[in-house]
Amino acid sequence: MSKSSTMFLKFVLVVLALAALAVCVFLLPALWRGVAGDEMFADWVRGIIIGMYVSGIPFYFALYQSFKLLNLIDRNNAFSDKAVVALRMIKFAALAVSGIYTATMPFFFMIGEYDDAPGVIVIGMAIIFASFVVAVFAYVLQKLLKNAIDIKIENDLTV
């Protein structure tokens, strides 16, 4: 993989990190203040907002591990145990995000029932599904990479 490809992917990671930071700094506090009318509805929305803040921790951890993985690719160390560990950490972070949003799903259901908006429930399910897909993809890549490393080591020993 060329340096320009990994540089582009690093740029995308930085843009994702800045977008998530902007949401956490500007959008979520405004949403927190904006639901002051109905206390029960405000509690449900605030439960989701708290879940979004908590899910930022594994999200940024996964971005950091992705950045490390791209650095390994730049240094031609893609087939190393460090890459396998980075993929495993990405998998755990994605599962953590999925678990956090699964824990906030009752709030999505309550808001959907209260406001007669079933699309809110779909939004919550989409986030869970997307992070679970990332976890499964990272798991598959981790296993493939581990098998490739094992085959490489076996071939190096037979020569």
The DSSP line for 24-43 is IIIIHHHHHHHT-SSHHHHH
Global pTM? 0.89
User: Does 133 have pLDDT greater than 60?
Assistant: yes
Question: 17 is in which domain, residue-wise?
Answer: 3-158
Q: How many domains does the chain have?
A: 1
Phi, psi values for residue 77, rounded to 5°:
-115, 30
What is the model's pLDDT at position 41? Answer: 81
**pLDDT tens for residues 75-92?**
988 888 999 999 999 999
Read off the DSSP letter of residue 77: -
Best CA proximity match to 84, nearest among 65, 64, 99, 57: 65
Q: Are 70 and 10 in contact (CB under 8 A)?
A: yes
Which is it for the CA torsion 109, 115, 117, 120, positive or negative?
negative
